[in-house]
Amino acid sequence: MNDFDFFAGHWNVRNRRLVKPLAGSDEWDEFPGHSIATRHFGGAASFDEIEFPTKGSHGLTVRVFNPETRQWSIYWASSRTGELDTRPMVGSFEGDRGEFYGEESHEGGPVRCRFVWTVIDENACRWEQAFSDDDGRTWETNWTMDFTRV
**Domain ranges for the chain:** 5-17+29-149
pLDDT band at residue 150 using 50, 70 and 90 as cut-offs: very high
The mean pLDDT of the chain is: 96
β-strands 28-40, 57-66 pairing: unpaired
Segment 29-40, tens digit of pLDDT: 999 999 999 999
**Cβ–Cβ under 8 Å, residues 79 and 59:** yes
The answer to whether residue 1 scores a pLDDT higher than 90 is no
pTM of the model: 0.94
- How many CB atoms sit inside 10 A of residue 46's CB? 24
Topology of domain 5-17+29-149 in CATH is Lipocalin (2.40.128)
- Residue % of the chain over a pLDDT of 70: 100
